[in-house]
Amino acid sequence: MTIKKLPQSELKIMKFIWKSDSKVTSRDIVLGMEQKYKWKQTTTLTLLSRLVVKRFLNSQKIDKYTHYEVLIKEKEYIGVETRDFFRNIHDSSIKSLLLSLHENINLSKDDILLIEEWIKNLKEEEEDV
């Protein structure tokens, strides 16, 4: 199945559901979106129905609430978005990506250490092959 990029509004709902780490009800989601974004119930329910059609969520009506279960995991979605971003924005160029990070984001010392550790691990993996 092909995973497509979500509009920001649908992504906000998915992030809320991914954070809950279990099945959630329409009531939980409606309240969460109302508190965080001041969305009306109809807005949230419309977006939820779109996410079901797109196969990001499965829905099941139990009593008076609809229960939602995640079909596309957060890590899976982030992987698709990251590959598309890298391919489409940076033309699959690590140099372009790193220059952009350097020029546009204030990397902390911890961020730099993390990147150094990542490079070190990549080198070790290559040596093992």
Residue 66: how many CB atoms within 10 A of its CB?
A: 19
Q: Of all residues in the chain, what percent carry a pLDDT higher than 90? A: 82
Report the C-alpha gap between 88 and 10 in whole angstroms.
22
The pLDDT score that the predictor gives to residue 127 is 84
- pLDDT surpasses 90 at 11: yes
User: Spelled out in words, what is the top-level CATH class assigned to the domain 1-92?
Assistant: mainly alpha
Each residue of 112-123: pLDDT tens digit? 999 999 999 998
57-62 and 24-25 beta bridge pairing: unpaired
Residue found by looking up tokens 């079901």 in the block: 52
The pLDDT score that the predictor gives to residue 55 is 96
Each residue of 30-70: pLDDT tens digit? 999 999 999 999 999 999 999 999 999 999 999 999 999 99
